[in-house]
Structures are given as C-alpha cells and as structure tokens.
C-alpha cells in the first residue's frame, strides 16, 4: 500500500485489535460496476448524502462527470479529489454549488487511489482501492484497460464508512481547511440523524449491485471481448465473486445491527459445518449448508396474512409447482438458486404449521430443517448466556428445542444436536469466525451449490 494513502491509514488503524479489513483484488470492470451501482442508488435513497471521491487522474473524473451531474442534484455535497488536468475545472458539473474540487499534488499518494464514499443518515456505502504497482504486476503488467487490477475493499458498514470519511476530511484539511471543517460538521449532523432515521432498504441496494455486476459480466461474454482478452476467465470469476460478496456483506451488516447477537450468522454456519460431519453429509452439501448458515438472516421469510389464509391444498400446489416465494434478494443470483430455496423454507415446521407454504415432514428440504433448528438453538443459547445466571446454558437451550421435537423440529436432527451439544460441553470448540469476504468465490465455485436441496434425511 502507498504510504500515507487513505487506504493505508485505514488499514493501519485496524491493525491493533480492531476488526481487520476484508481486502482483496478487483479488476477495473468490477469496480466500475460496483461504483455505478452504489452511486445510482443515491437517486433512490431517502436522504441526501455527503459524497467523497478520489480519481487517479482528472481524465477518469471527466469520464464520469456527466453522471456526477445527476448525482450532485440529489446529494447534499460532493467533494472530488484528483490531480488537475486539462478540462478538469471547465466541465459544467464542476461549477455546481455543492460540488468542490480538491486539486491533489502529483506526489500525493491519494492521487493514485480510487475511492467512493457515500454517507447519509439512511444510506452508507464505500469503495476504497488503489491500483497494483509495477512491482505487484511483475511480468504480468496489463496490456489493456480490462486487465488493470486494484487492491482494496468495499462495504456498506456505517461505522467503517464514517471512519474513512473522517480520514479523507483530515487529508483535505491540508488543502482546504474551511472545506474540511464544513464537511466535518455535515458528518456530525448526519451521524446524529442516523440514530433516529430508518435505513434504506438494503435488499434493494444489494439487488442493484448484483444486477450491475451481472450486466458487466454479460458485456464480457460478447464474442469480441472473450476472444481478445487473455484474462477473461479471471475477470469473469472476479465479478461473480463480488456478487457473492454483496450478500455476505449484507449478512454481516444484519449481524452488526443486532447488538445482542452480533455473531449469529458465523455461529450458525460453524454449527452447520459440525452438524454436516455428524450426519455424514457429502462435501458439496456440507459446503452449501455452511453458506446457508452465513446467509440465513438474509433469507428470513416474513409472515403475511395472505399466507395464513391459504388452504392446505393451495400450499401443496405451491410447493409442488415451485411457485412458493423464494428468499427474495438471493434469487437474483442464479448460483444461489439452491440456497434461496433452502432459506425460503427455513421457517417451515415438521408438523406443517410453519411458513411460507406449510410443508411438513420430509417434504421440507433437509438443509432447511437443519438451519431452522440451529438458528433457533443459537438464539436460545445466546439468550441463556446473556440473561441467565444458570451455569448450564447448553442444557437449557437444548431442552427448549427438544420440547418441540415432532412439532417444530425433525426429531432425528435433535439426536444429532444432542451429540453436538455434548461435544461442546466437553470442550469441543467451533471456529465461529467471519469469513474473508473478499475471497467469496470459493463459496460459489462448484455447481453443487445449485443442486436441488435434499428433501429426505
């Protein structure tokens, strides 16, 4: 990383006990699609944001200047950092009252970075990257624009976006102190407002990110691109990986907003991994179950009056013809079709009294039954640990689940959970860690993820 750059300063700040950044490598096309998706959601957001951007060169800003005219009309304030070049100051967007250009010195490390920061009371997003150096490229220095690679990360996390904006403001202070002070006041006000405002629909943001990435990948599949670009396969996988990352980041943010249970997804995934071994599931199914655990909060179905009015005959028809509602946001990614079905049915009950379509017994996918049991057990266990003085939270959480065997839960799975609990009580440690999101491709690199979920045990 470039010494003194915003990315380097943020990474350094997260080196002492703070949650490390999920850094990865991104192709330029991937970043363009990501930035456009995150920027364009500003037009649908419920609040006007503060935008901070950094372009490697003024020419890259000029390519985006027309788009930024529309964004500036919706934003409260836009600060653009780049080295001054021909035409930079003369574009109409630059003359808007709420757009300020910060002319970086050529030797400034931020002049070599590609940043997008969006901060508002209801919507936050960020892309933070810098291009690989000649040393990093080595003998594989890019011959064309498509081959350019960048090191960094992107996120929706409000605290992380705010922290980075504050680093950017500190950097701007050396150029325009009054601007930095005005931006700091806006950040403070927006931070206070965010505590009382309902956040924008994260499902919509993620869906847009995935759509833009998919559109970018379709462009790559045009004959002239596929034949002329040697790194086509790597770039294609990079885009798919980021589609997966969008869902993982969404799941991570859902966990982070639950202050009483911020590790739910990771812990359910870890238990699912262990349960797979106890049930002797094949490797492909264990992998899919682990991913379902990570995403189980993303795919939670809602109870609706319409569903409660459905007759049993209607439910059976829905289940048979596949028209039951899928875990909504997940279905936009074809590679997650099976995961979507698993999580759609994670609230079904063994006796048929669950949602969304009242499946019963072995008609419920096995993975859905497992996630249902483990997610409930994890919640109960967390509650007993936090709010009970009893020294046997495992025993009580297990007993609560066993009381619903044959009703809510598959009795056979309770036997496996009992063995898992026995192991944990005897000192077995489950590695409940947050996955390295930037490496999300390993979760979708097998066709097994798309196999139909199992409906027997």
Angle between helices 283-295 and 337-344 in degrees, nearest 10: 60
Which pLDDT belongs to residue 408?
97
Residue closest to 64 by CA, chosen among 95, 91, 104, 42? 91
Identify the H or E element spanning 214. Answer: helix 202-220
What average pLDDT does this structure show over 201-221? 84
Residue closest to 26 by CA, chosen among 43, 40, 41, 7? 7
Contact assessment for residue 358 and residue 348, using Cβ atoms and an 8 Å cutoff: yes
Q: Where are the domains of the chain?
A: 6-256, 264-450
Residue 313 has pLDDT above 60, yes or no: no
Helices (H), 257-282: 264-278
Contact assessment for residue 179 and residue 102, using Cβ atoms and an 8 Å cutoff: yes
Residue 376 has pLDDT above 80, yes or no: yes
Residue closest to 251 by CA, chosen among 422, 10, 43, 437? 437
What average pLDDT does this structure show over 268-297? 93
More confident residue, 217 or 352: 352
Which pLDDT belongs to residue 168?
97
Half-sphere exposure of 147 (CA within 13 A, CB side): 12
Which pLDDT belongs to residue 314?
39
Lowest-confidence pick of 31-45, 156-170, 406-420, 430-444: 430-444
Which pLDDT belongs to residue 58?
54
* Confidence label for 298 from pLDDT (cuts 50, 70 and 90): confident
**Peptide bond preceding 356 in cis form (omega within 30 of 0):** yes
Which pLDDT belongs to residue 130?
92
Which token pair is 406? 């044959």
Which pLDDT belongs to residue 282?
95
Which pLDDT belongs to residue 428?
80
**What are the angstrom distances between the C-alpha of 290 and each of 4, 46, 339, 351, 371?**
39, 35, 10, 25, 9
What average pLDDT does this structure show over 304-308? 37
Which token pair is 280? 């002797």
Residue closest to 129 by CA, chosen among 149, 144, 146? 149
Q: How far apart are CA 153 and CA 440, in angstroms?
A: 12
Lowest-confidence pick of 90-99, 281-290, 370-379, 409-418: 90-99
What average pLDDT does this structure show over 20-35? 87
Which pLDDT belongs to residue 307?
39
More confident residue, 289 or 301: 289
What average pLDDT does this structure show over 87-102? 85
* Confidence label for 16 from pLDDT (cuts 50, 70 and 90): confident
Which pLDDT belongs to residue 317?
36
Contact assessment for residue 107 and residue 86, using Cβ atoms and an 8 Å cutoff: no
* Confidence label for 324 from pLDDT (cuts 50, 70 and 90): very low
Residue closest to 151 by CA, chosen among 34, 23, 14? 23
Q: How far apart are CA 207 and CA 336, in angstroms?
A: 13
**What are the angstrom distances between the C-alpha of 374 and each of 53, 112, 169, 290?**
43, 47, 44, 12
Residue 115 has pLDDT above 50, yes or no: yes
Which pLDDT belongs to residue 60?
60
Pairing verdict, β 113-119 and 50-54: antiparallel
* Confidence label for 264 from pLDDT (cuts 50, 70 and 90): very high
Residue at token pair 């013809």:
321
Which pLDDT belongs to residue 362?
95
> What residues does 124 pair with on adjacent strands?
119
Contact assessment for residue 107 and residue 78, using Cβ atoms and an 8 Å cutoff: no
Tell me the pTM. Answer: 0.80
Give the CA-trace dihedral at 33, 35, 38, 41, to 10 degrees.
-80
Which pLDDT belongs to residue 444?
52
Residue 368 has pLDDT above 60, yes or no: yes
More confident residue, 69 or 89: 69
Give the CA-trace dihedral at 119, 121, 122, 123, to 10 degrees.
0
Mean pLDDT, rounded, of the chain: 84
Which pLDDT belongs to residue 310?
41
- When the candidates are 3.30.230.70, 3.40.50.880, 3.30.720.200, 1.10.3210.10, the CATH number that belongs to 264-450 is 1.10.3210.10
Highest mean pLDDT among 308-317, 370-379, 419-428, 432-441: 370-379
Residues of the chain above pLDDT 90, percent? 50
More confident residue, 373 or 138: 373
What average pLDDT does this structure show over 285-304? 80
Which pLDDT belongs to residue 135?
86
* Confidence label for 448 from pLDDT (cuts 50, 70 and 90): very low
Q: What are phi and psi of 265, to 5 degrees?
A: -60, -45
Pairing verdict, β 24-27 and 149-155: antiparallel
Angle between helices 393-402 and 366-387 in degrees, nearest 10: 140
What average pLDDT does this structure show over 312-321? 41
Which pLDDT belongs to residue 53?
93
């Amino acid at each position: 990383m470039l010494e003194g750059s915003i990315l380097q300063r943020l990474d350094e700040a997260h080196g002492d006990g703070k949650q490390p950044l999920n850094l990865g490598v991104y192709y330029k096309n991937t970043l363009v699609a990501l930035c456009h998706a995150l920027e364009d959601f500003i037009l649908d957001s419920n609040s006007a944001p503060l935008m901070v951007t950094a372009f490697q060169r003024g020419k890259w800003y000029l390519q985006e200047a027309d788009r930024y005219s529309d964004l500036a009309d919706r934003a409260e304030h836009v600060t653009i950092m780049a080295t001054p070049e021909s035409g930079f100051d003369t574009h109409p967007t630059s003359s808007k009252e709420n757009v300020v250009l910060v002319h970086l010195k050529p030797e400034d490390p931020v002049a070599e970075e590609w940043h997008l920061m969006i901060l508002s009371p209801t919507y936050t997003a960020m892309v933070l990257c810098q291009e690989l150096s000649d040393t990093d490229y080595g003998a594989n220095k890019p011959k064309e624009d498509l081959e350019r690679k960048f090191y960094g990360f992107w996120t929706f996390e409000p605290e992380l976006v705010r922290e980075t904006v504050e680093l950017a403001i500190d950097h701007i202070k050396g150029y325009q102190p009054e601007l930095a002070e005005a931006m700091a006041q806006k950040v403070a006000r927006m931070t206070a407002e965010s505590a009382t405002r309902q956040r924008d629909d994260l499902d919509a943001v993620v869906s847009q990110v995935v759509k833009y990435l998919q559109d970018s990948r379709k462009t790559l599949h045009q004959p002239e691109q596929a034949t002329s670009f040697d790194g086509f396969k790597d770039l294609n996988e990079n885009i798919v990986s980021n589609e997966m990352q969008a869902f993982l980041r969404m799941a991570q943010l859902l966990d982070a907003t639950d202050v009483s249970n911020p590790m739910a997804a990771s812990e359910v995934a870890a238990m699912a991994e262990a349960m797979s071994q106890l049930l002797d599931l094949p490797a492909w199914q264990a992998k899919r179950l682990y991913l379902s655990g990570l995403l189980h909060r993303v795919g939670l179905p809602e109870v609706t009056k319409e569903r409660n009015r459905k007759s049993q005959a209607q439910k059976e028809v829905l289940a048979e013809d596949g028209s039951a509602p899928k875990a909504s946001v997940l279905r936009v990614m074809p590679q997650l079709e099976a995961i979507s079905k698993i999580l759609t049915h994670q609230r079904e009950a063994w006796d048929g009294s669950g949602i969304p379509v009242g499946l019963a017994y072995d008609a419920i996918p096995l993975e859905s039954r497992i996630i249902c049991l483990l997610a409930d057990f994890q919640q109960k266990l967390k509650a007993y640990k936090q709010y009970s003085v009893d020294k046997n939270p495992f025993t009580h959480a297990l007993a609560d689940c066993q009381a619903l065997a044959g009703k809510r839960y598959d009795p056979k799975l309770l036997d496996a959970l009992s063995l898992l609990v026995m192991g944990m009580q005897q000192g077995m440690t489950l590695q409940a860690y947050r996955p390295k999101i930037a490496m999300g491709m390993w979760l979708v690199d097998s066709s097994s993820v798309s196999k139909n979920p199992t409906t027997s045990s």
